[in-house]
C-alpha cells in the first residue's frame, strides 16, 4: 500500500511519458501504435484493490552473490586428466581501480616537499628550518624562487635507492668426478631344497658348539654355560650395546645431577673464613639400590686404581634375622645404579680390594666362609670360596685384608673371625689353601675338655690391621675389649696386650704416616689413640654414642673421622684441637638411622658413610677440615710424609714429657 504522494508522482510520470489529449482527456503519444491491443496501467487510486491486497508485503532479499558471475566454469585437471567444474566462483565485481601517488600542487604537503627539494639543491644547510617554516610562507614565495633551476623530482611510483639494491653473486658450479664403485652381478635361485640345506648347516653348527661346551672341564662349567647361552641368544644379544648404554646413562646422570658435580669439583665453603677452627660437611651424592633397602652397609672400600669406584658390602648386624647379602660397586659418575652387582646367599660382613689388582675382591661372610671375586669374569659366583673341607671359619668373619704375594708369587689375604682364628688364605691354582697364623685365647681362662683336659678359652676376634712398613706386625681387636699386638712369626703368644675398651673393639687401624700410632673405637662410646710402645692411650675421646667405625685421613697424620649410631659424623684434627671434634654433623634424614662405616677417598677431599638402611652418602670436607699451614711470602713450606710425621711426633712429645721426667 503506497502513500498518496507516491501515487501523485507516478501519475505525473505517466502523463509526461504518454501525453494527454486536451479535449477528451484521453492519453496519446508516440507509442499509440505500440500500445494497441494492450491494457494500459491505471493509477493506483483508480485500481479496485481490496484491503488485504493493499496490506500484502513483498520481501526483497539482498545477497552478496554476483548475478552475472558464471556458474559453469570448467578447468583441466592434470592429476585426473579431465575437465573438472570449479565449485567456487569469485563474486567480487571491481568497478574502479586507481593506483598512484599524486599531490595537489597548492596543498601544504606539496609546498613543503618543493621547499625541501630546493633546500637540498642549495646545499642542505638550512633544510630543517625551511621545512618547518615552509607551511607558513605565502603562496607567492614559490613564484619568487621560480627563477632558480628546480631539481627533478624522483619517481614516486617505482623509485628505489641505490643503497637498497643488493649485489647478487654470480652463480658458480663445482663438481668432482670419482671412479665408479666396483660392481658384480650375482644371481641365484631359491627353492625348497636349497633352503632346507641351509637350515641343516645351521643345525649342525649348533650341535658342534654343544659338543664343544660339554667337552670343557668341570672347573669351567659356568663359562661353558655362559658361552652356550650366548650362542643360542646371539640373534637378540643386547650386550653389544651395553658399553654404549652405560656411557649414555652416565652422561644423562651427570646432566641431571650437574649441580652436585659442580659442588664436588669447585665448591668451597666460604663461611670457613669466619670460623677459626670449625668446619662443615657438604652432602653430595646418595647411593642406593632398591633390592638392598632392607640390608645394612657392613663394609666400605675404595678402589686404589680407579679413584671414583668403591665397593659396598651389604648384610645384617641383627644376628636373629640373618639371610641374604649383596656385593655392589658404585661409581661417582653414576649414583643411580651400581656398576657391578653380586648377590650372595649369606650376609657380607667385610671386604677388601687388592691394591695392585683392582679386579680382585676378598669377601668375608656371616656363615664363616671367605671368597674372592674377579670383576673380569662374567659369572656372578666367586672364583675362590672356602668350604668346611678347606678350613673355613666356624663363626662370622669380621675382617679380611690383602697382603703381599708370598715367595711363590701367589696372592694371599688374611681373615679374623669370632672363632678366635687369624687365618692366611693363599690362592693356589683353583683352590684356597689356609694357614692358621695365631689363635686368640683369653689369658688364664681354661675349660675342661674330655678326660679332664684343660682347654684354653678362645677369644673372639672382631678387627685387625697390618703395619704399613713392618710386614710381620699386626694388631687384633677382640670382643672382650682388648687389643693384641701380634707377629706372623709367633703363633702361640702375643707381643703385647692393651686393655683398650670395656666393650667389643669395632675397628683398629694404623696411622698412614706415623709408624708407632694406631687408633681404635668401640661400642663403649670411646675413640682412643695409642702409641704401640706404651700400654696406655695417648688420647681418649667420648662421643656420647656407640662408635661404629673410625678412619684416618690419607692427607694428614692428625685428622681422623668417626661415625656413631646416633647418625653423626665426628671429624677431629689433633693439630688444631686436642680435646673435641672440629666438626660434629648429623648426616641422616631419619633419627633412628644408625651409621655403620666410614671411609676417606684416597685422592679427593670426600668421605663416604654407610648406614643400617643400605644407603651410602658422600660428603665433601670443607677447607677447615683439610687445612694446611699458610705459606709466607718468599718462604716455601716443606711438604711430604716427613712433615706429617713431625706434626704427630710433636703432639706425642707433649704427652711423653711427664713420663720421661719421672723416669
Please give the average per-residue pLDDT across 575-600, as a whole number.
86
Superfamily of domain 257-445+454-628: YVTN repeat-like/Quinoprotein amine dehydrogenase (2.130.10.10)
Angle, in degrees to the nearest 10, between helices 192-215 and 221-232: 170
CA 472, CA 453: separation in Å to the nearest integer? 33
Please give the average per-residue pLDDT across 129-135, as a whole number.
47
Please give the average per-residue pLDDT across 462-478, as a whole number.
87
Q: Using the predicted structure, report yes or no on whether residue 433 has a pLDDT greater than 70.
A: yes
CA 432, CA 236: separation in Å to the nearest integer? 38
Please give the average per-residue pLDDT across 46-74, as a whole number.
80
Instruction: Report the pLDDT value the prediction gives residue 609, as an integer from 0 to 100.
Output: 93
Q: Using the predicted structure, report yes or no on whether residue 236 has a pLDDT greater than 70.
A: no
Please give the average per-residue pLDDT across 57-66, as a whole number.
82
Q: Using the predicted structure, report yes or no on whether residue 351 has a pLDDT greater than 80.
A: yes
- Mean pLDDT, rounded, of the chain: 78
Reported as a pLDDT band with limits 50, 70 and 90, residue 9 is low
Lowest mean pLDDT, pick from 408-417, 479-488, 635-644:
635-644
Listed by start position, the domains of the chain span 257-445+454-628
Cell numbers given for 348: 657380607
CA 328, CA 307: separation in Å to the nearest integer? 16
Q: Using the predicted structure, report yes or no on whether residue 658 has a pLDDT greater than 80.
A: no
Q: Are 629 and 643 in contact (CB under 8 A)?
A: no
Q: Using the predicted structure, report yes or no on whether residue 312 has a pLDDT greater than 90.
A: yes
The better pLDDT of the pair 663, 415 is held by 415
Reported as a pLDDT band with limits 50, 70 and 90, residue 561 is very high
Q: Are 342 and 312 in contact (CB under 8 A)?
A: no
**501-537 per-residue burial string, b: 16 or more CB within 10 A, e: under 16:** beebbbbbbbbbbbebbbbbbbbbbbbbbbbbeeeeb
Phi-psi region of 544 (alpha: psi -120 to 50; beta: other; left: phi over 0): left
Instruction: Report the pLDDT value the prediction gives residue 6, as an integer from 0 to 100.
Output: 56
- State whether the Cα torsion 532-534-538-542 is positive or negative: positive
Instruction: Report the pLDDT value the prediction gives residue 455, as an integer from 0 to 100.
Output: 59
N- to C-terminal Cα separation, the chain: 146
Instruction: Report the pLDDT value the prediction gives residue 222, as an integer from 0 to 100.
Output: 56
CA 358, CA 547: separation in Å to the nearest integer? 30
CA 349, CA 329: separation in Å to the nearest integer? 15
**CA neighbor of 421 nearest in space, from 435, 438, 398, 433:** 438
Neighbours of 169 (CB within 10 A): 6
Whole-model pTM: value is: 0.61
Q: Using the predicted structure, report yes or no on whether residue 238 has a pLDDT greater than 70.
A: no
CA 71, CA 356: separation in Å to the nearest integer? 95
Angle, in degrees to the nearest 10, between helices 242-256 and 258-266: 80
CA 558, CA 572: separation in Å to the nearest integer? 8
Q: Are 353 and 372 in contact (CB under 8 A)?
A: no
The 3-state DSSP class for residue 273 equals helix
Percent of the chain at pLDDT > 70 equals 77
Q: Are 380 and 401 in contact (CB under 8 A)?
A: no
CA 192, CA 195: separation in Å to the nearest integer? 5
Q: Using the predicted structure, report yes or no on whether residue 591 has a pLDDT greater than 80.
A: no
Instruction: Report the pLDDT value the prediction gives residue 22, as an integer from 0 to 100.
Output: 44
Q: What is the DSSP letter of 47?
A: S
Residue 402 class from Cβ within 10 Å (0-12 exposed, 13-18 middle, 19+ buried)?
buried
Please give the average per-residue pLDDT across 267-285, as a whole number.
81
Q: Which residues pair with 551 in a beta bridge?
A: 561
* DSSP-assigned states of every residue in 383-414: SEE--TTTT--SS-EEEEEEE---TT---EEE
* DSSP-assigned states of every residue in 15-46: HHHH---TTT-----TTHHHHTTSPPPPPGGG
Q: Which residues contact 652 (CB under 8 A, 6 or more apart)?
A: 514, 516, 517, 531, 538
Amino acid at each position: 500500500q503506497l502513500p498518496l504522494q507516491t501515487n501523485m508522482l507516478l501519475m505525473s510520470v505517466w502523463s509526461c511519458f504518454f501525453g494527454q489529449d486536451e479535449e477528451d482527456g484521453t492519453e496519446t503519444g508516440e507509442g499509440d501504435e505500440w500500445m494497441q491491443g494492450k491494457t494500459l496501467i491505471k493509477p493506483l487510486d483508480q485500481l479496485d484493490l481490496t484491503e488485504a491486497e493493499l496490506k500484502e508485503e513483498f520481501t526483497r532479499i539482498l545477497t552478496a552473490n554476483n548475478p552475472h558471475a558464471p556458474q559453469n566454469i570448467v578447468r583441466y585437471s592434470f592429476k585426473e586428466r579431465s575437465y573438472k567444474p570449479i565449485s567456487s566462483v569469485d563474486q567480487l565485481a571491481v568497478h574502479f581501480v586507481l593506483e598512484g601517488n599524486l599531490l595537489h600542487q597548492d596543498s601544504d604537503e606539496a609546498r613543503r616537499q618543493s621547499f625541501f627539494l630546493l633546500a637540498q639543491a642549495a646545499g642542505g644547510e638550512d633544510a630543517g628550518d625551511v621545512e618547518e617554516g615552509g607551511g607558513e610562507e605565502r603562496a607567492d614565495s614559490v613564484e619568487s624562487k621560480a627563477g632558480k633551476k628546480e631539481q627533478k623530482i624522483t619517481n614516486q611510483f617505482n623509485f628505489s635507492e641505490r643503497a637498497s639494491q643488493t649485489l647478487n653473486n654470480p652463480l658458480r658450479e663445482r663438481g668432482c668426478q670419482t671412479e665408479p664403485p666396483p660392481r658384480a652381478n650375482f644371481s641365484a635361485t631359491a627353492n625348497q631344497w636349497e633352503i632346507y640345506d641351509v637350515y641343516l648347516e645351521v643345525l649342525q653348527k649348533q650341535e658342534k658348539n654343544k659338543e664343544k661346551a660339554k667337552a670343557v672341564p668341570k672347573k669351567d662349567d659356568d663359562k661353558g654355560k655362559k658361552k652356550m647361552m650366548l650362542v643360542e641368544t646371539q640373534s637378540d644379544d643386547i650386550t653389544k650395546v651395553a658399553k654404549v648404554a652405560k656411557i649414555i646413562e652416565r652422561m644423562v646422570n651427570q646432566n641431571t645431577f650437574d649441580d652436585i658435580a659442580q659442588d664436588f669439583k669447585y665448591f668451597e665453603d666460604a663461611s670457613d673464613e669466619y670460623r677459626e677452627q670449625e668446619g662443615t660437611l657438604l652432602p653430595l651424592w646418595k647411593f642406593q639400590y632398591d633390592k638392598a633397602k632392607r640390608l645394612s652397609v657392613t663394609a666400605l672400600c675404595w678402589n686404589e686404581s680407579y679413584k671414583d669406584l668403591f665397593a659396598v658390602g651389604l648384610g645384617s648386624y641383627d644376628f636373629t634375622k640373618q639371610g641374604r647379602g649383596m656385593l655392589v660397586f658404585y661409581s661417582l659418575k653414576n649414583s643411580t645404579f651400581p656398576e657391578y652387582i653380586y648377590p650372595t646367599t649369606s650376609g657380607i660382613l667385610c671386604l677388601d680390594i687388592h691394591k695392585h689388582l683392582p679386579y680382585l675382591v676378598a669377601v668375608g661372610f656371616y656363615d664363616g666362609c671367605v671368597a674372592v671375586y674377579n670383576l673380569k669374569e662374567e659369572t656372578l659366583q666367586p672364583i675362590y670360596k672356602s668350604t668346611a673341607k678347606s678350613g673355613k671359619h666356624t663363626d662370622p668373619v669380621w675382617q679380611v685384608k690383602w697382603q703381599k704375594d708370598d715367595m711363590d708369587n701367589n696372592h694371599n689375604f688374611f681373615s679374623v673371625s669370632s672363632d678366635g682364628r687369624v687365618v692366611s688364605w693363599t690362592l693356589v691354582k683353583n683352590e684356597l689353601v689356609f694357614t692358621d697364623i695365631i689363635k686368640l685365647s683369653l689369658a688364664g681362662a681354661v675349660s675342661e675338655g674330655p678326660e679332664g683336659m684343660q682347654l684354653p678359652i678362645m677369644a673372639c676376634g672382631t678387627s685387625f690391621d697390618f703395619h704399613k712398613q713392618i710386614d710381620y706386625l699386626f694388631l687384633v681387636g677382640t670382643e672382650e675389649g682388648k687389643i693384641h699386638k701380634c707377629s706372623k712369626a709367633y703363633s702361640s703368644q702375643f707381643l703385647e696386650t692393651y686393655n683398650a675398651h670395656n666393650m667389643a673393639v669395632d675397628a683398629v687401624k694404623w696411622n698412614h704416616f706415623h709408624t708407632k700410632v694406631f687408633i681404635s673405637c668401640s661400642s663403649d662410646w670411646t675413640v682412643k689413640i695409642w702409641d704401640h710402645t706404651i700400654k696406655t692411650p695417648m688420647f681418649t675421646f667420648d662421643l656420647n654414642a656407640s662408635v661404629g667405625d673410625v678412619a684416618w685421613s690419607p692427607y694428614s697424620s692428625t685428622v681422623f673421622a668417626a661415625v656413631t649410631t646416633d647418625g653423626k659424623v665426628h671429624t677431629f684434627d689433633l693439630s688444631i684441637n686436642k680435646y673435641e671434634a672440629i666438626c660434629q654433623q648429623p648426616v641422616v634424614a631419619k633419627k633412628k638411622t644408625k651409621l655403620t662405616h666410614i671411609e676417606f677417598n684416597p685422592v679427593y677431599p670426600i668421605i663416604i658413610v654407610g648406614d643400617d638402611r643400605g644407603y651410602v652418602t658422600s660428603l665433601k670436607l670443607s677447607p677447615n677440615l683439610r687445612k694446611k699451614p699458610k705459606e709466607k711470602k718468599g718462604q716455601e713450606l716443606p711438604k711430604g710424609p716427613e712433615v706429617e710425621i713431625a706434626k704427630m711426633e710433636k703432639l706425642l712429645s707433649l704427652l711423653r714429657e711427664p713420663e720421661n721426667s719421672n723416669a
